[in-house]
Amino acid sequence: MLVIRIVLLLCACWVLPVCAGSIYSQFPTEIDPHGHYVFYSHGFIVEGTNPKPVHKTFGVYDFIAVKEALADESYHLIAYHRPKDTEPFAFAKKLAADVEALISAGVAESNISLVGFSRGGALSILAANELKRTHINLIILAGCAGLIKNHTSVKAYGKVYSIFERSDQVGSCQFLVDRSDVTKFEEISINTGLSHGAFYRPKDEWLLPIKKWLKD
């Protein structure tokens, strides 16, 4: 059955100009107006040229494995590898512009999701703040830390989901939601004992809730 499913998916990709399940490292040149699009923004440590940097405490951040685990045939995954020392507000404007480009191409706002971990979570929040769209989906993974706390004018918008690790210093996004006007908020905590490193590699504890939220 798995072989048949893969063959059918490949056949669909040959017929259609764009195929859900693809992973893009750049903004796609062809847009499916009926498709779902997910932007994943990685943590700060991955900025640069190495997709598998090593943290002295948390170990390898496997950006490649995370992308592959997040990919799903029900949506297109866009995951940029940011240059070193990327300026957060400038990159957030780029993310927001890319979302607007999808909407201009006919993609429904509710079919677009911003997902980010740590610095990437903050960037996703900043992009949502730029967009100020009420039907977008925002999924934050341990991203409500100093950058967001210090910029009190930054607000979240749309449907907001959050996951944080109980052993991590970066905790709940409730403070952000309290100062925002979101259409939905759902937050869960996980308990892997891995602190911030819980999100460095694919783990069902956070992957499964994300996949569920993205398909709701």
Q: Can you tell me the distance from the alpha carbon of 18 to that of 21, in angstroms, rounded to the nearest whole number?
A: 10
Q: Please report, rounded to a whole number, the percentage of residues in the chain having pLDDT higher than 70.
A: 91
pLDDT tens, position by position, 8-42: 344 445 444 566 789 999 999 999 999 999 999 99
Does the predicted model carry a pTM greater than 0.85?
Answer: yes
Are 152 and 168 in contact by the 8 Å Cβ rule? The answer is: no
Q: How confident is the model at residue 53 (pLDDT cuts 50, 70, 90)?
A: very high
- Residue 216, pLDDT score: 83
Number of H helices and number of E strands within the chain? 7, 9
Q: How confident is the model at residue 47 (pLDDT cuts 50, 70, 90)?
A: very high
Q: Can you tell me the distance from the alpha carbon of 203 to that of 18, in angstroms, rounded to the nearest whole number?
A: 28
pLDDT tens, position by position, 95-117: 999 999 999 999 999 999 999 99
- Residue 28, pLDDT score: 97
Segment 44-70 shows an average pLDDT of: 98
The packing angle between helices 119-131 and 88-104, to 10°, is 50
CATH ID of 20-215, from 3.20.20.70, 3.30.1330.10, 1.10.150.20, 3.40.50.1820:
3.40.50.1820
Segment 119-135 shows an average pLDDT of: 99
For the chain, the domains span: 20-215
Handedness of CA 120, 99, 208, 14 (dihedral sign): negative
